[in-house]
Amino acid sequence: MRVHLKTLGCRLNEAELETWSRDFQALGHELTQELNEADLVVVNTCAVTSEAVRKSRQLIRRAQRNNPTAKLVVSGCYASLDPTDSPGVDLVINNQDKDRLVEIVSKQLNLHAMPEMATEPGENILLARGRQRAFIKVQDGCRYRCTFCIVTLARGEERSRPASEIIDEINELHASGMHEVVLTGVHIGGYGSDIESDLFQLIQVLLEETTIPRIRLGSVEPWDLPENFWSLFENRRLMPHLHLPLQSGADSVLRRMARRCSTVDFRQLIKLARQRVPNLCITTDIIVGFPGETDDEWQQTLTFVEQMKFSHLHIFNYSARPGTKAAELPEHVGREIQKQRSQTLHTLGEQLKQAAQQANLGLEFSVLIESKTGKTIDGQAIWSGYTPNFLRVVLQTPGELVLGNCIRQVRLESLSDEGNQIRATLV
């Protein structure tokens, strides 16, 4: 079978797609980037915003229109929340069954497996697609009910993958040429809650049982972090970058969001993290225009964000999700105000980003060089990559040097004119 896989949304969806790719290949099926050529199409949907739902529907319709003879399988949060809303689909796989998707599809759609045809072990799909970082699913689901969040409703209770499975997956990827993995889930701080373990124990055993040079953490809610968490960063293979979603800098809004972290807690956490982890960069998510958000609450958010000195902001305009408590709240903020506030925050975000870049100039880091992004007029190659603390750098090298997917020591020299990346030189 020629299989075409498509995903929308979060890193967890990406991680699942990467696993399905390997599972289909192990059964001797061929992957194709071309929708029209496929015998089987699998779409991993998203429901985090109304825009994501619109795009999920569009993807499904495009698959049906452009390749009506192919078998069509739909999974993910949009399909799980509304399985009946996909007419003409051959199979809907709920989020609870995602880890068995290839097995269920093979059975239900009678796919003929030819494991003898499987590609040689070690052939890496991600590198073949120009990706140098693999997303690893470590857990699914969340026990909390933040009032704006549809994910917790779509993904259900917390379920942790056994550490042995995760170790094997990382070692396989490392053996196939990957140098960096990102641990991802819905609430990775909740890892182990169902198997008498926790995130500390998981990371500790991954650092012991794997040799991959770079382990990065995906988004971590700013609570439920286990004791001794910071001591893990003494191992330089754990990247000193944390994405800690704050969502709002006003306690009254955080209460309406039912977040488990006040601004005092968050400030304390950041202070401790920066004391314990050298060169740590912290990024965050902010929701703009949550129901009832007053000018004063918004000003509190701007002030708090500025004080926290984030190195990057992910900014989301609030999107009411049917089925969430927040959608029922009064005083929804108008689009115009949302746009103005979002613009102000983007401007602040750029200033904070440049300040974080400036603070790292002159330092030396090992960088995973990802791709060649261009050439200078005198024939020099331009490469880009990320530092351990997730700052984007560019460097120029003699044209013949091949650096794709290599780890090299560099010195951060200056900010690029556009200010969105750092010029570095090989050390």
Residues contacting residue 258 through CB under 8 Å, at least 6 positions apart: 144, 145, 146, 147, 325
142 binds ligand SF4 (CB under 6 A): yes
Distance (Å, rounded) from C-alpha 411 to C-alpha 427? 6
User: From the CB of 47, what's the least distance to ligand SF4, in Å?
Assistant: 12
186 sits near ligand SF4 (criterion: CB under 6 A): yes
Q: What is d(CA 372, CA 370) in angstroms, rounded to the nearest whole number?
A: 7
Position 77 contacts ligand SF4 (CB under 6 A): no
Binding residue for ligand SF4, selected from 52, 151, 188, 286, defined by CB under 6 A? 151
Closest CA to 247 of 235, 237, 257: 257
Q: Which is nearer to ligand SF4, 221 or 251 (CB)?
A: 221
Contact flag: residue 145 with ligand SF4 (CB under 6 A)? yes
SS3 call for 51: helix
Minimum CB separation of residue 326 from ligand SF4 in Å reads: 11
Q: How far is the CB of 287 from ligand SF4 (least distance, A)?
A: 10
Helix (H, G, I), strand (E, B) or coil at 107: helix
Per-residue DSSP letters for 340-389?
HHHHHHHHHHHHHHHHHHHHHTT-EEEEEEEEEEEE-TTS-EEEEEE-TT
| Residue with smaller CB distance to ligand SF4, 118 or 153 | 153
Helices vs. strands in the chain: H and E counts, helices first:
12, 18
Cβ-contact 43, 56 below 8 angstroms: yes
Pick the piece of the chain touching ligand SF4 (CB under 6 A) from 71-79, 147-155, 343-351, 381-389. 147-155
- Give bridge partners of residue 288 from the DSSP assignment: 317
Q: Considering the complex, what minimum distance in angstroms separates the CB of residue 154 from ligand SF4?
A: 10
Binder among 28, 64, 118, 144 for ligand SF4 (CB under 6 A): 144
149 near ligand SF4, judged by CB under 6 A: yes
Judged by CB under 6 A, how many residues of this single chain contact ligand SF4? Answer: 10
Residue 221 contacts ligand SF4 per CB under 6 A: yes
Query: DSSP states of 192-205 as a string?
Result: TTTTT--HHHHHHH
- Rounded to a whole number of angstroms, the minimum distance from the CB of residue 254 to ligand SF4 is 11
Cα distances from 234 to residues 241, 242, 359, in angstroms, run 13, 15, 21
**Backbone dihedral angles phi then psi of residue 225, each to the nearest 5 degrees:** -75, 125
The residue among 70 and 254 lying less far from ligand SF4, judged by its C-beta, is 254
Tokens representing residue 47 in the block = 């429901």
**By C-beta, is 186 or 326 nearer to ligand SF4?**
186
Which position among 11, 187, 241, 312 is part of the footprint of ligand SF4 (CB under 6 A)? 187
Virtual torsion, Cα 32, 33, 35, 39, nearest 10 deg:
10
168 token code pair: 């094997």
User: Among 41-49, 118-126, 146-154, 177-185, which window interacts with ligand SF4 (CB under 6 A)?
Assistant: 146-154
Q: Which of residues 240-279 bind ligand SF4 (CB under 6 A)?
A: none
Residue 260: CB minimum distance to ligand SF4, A: 7
Please say which residue, 149 or 170, places its beta carbon nearer to ligand SF4. Answer: 149
Q: What residues line the site for ligand SF4 (CB under 6 A)?
A: 142, 144-146, 149, 151-152, 186-187, 221
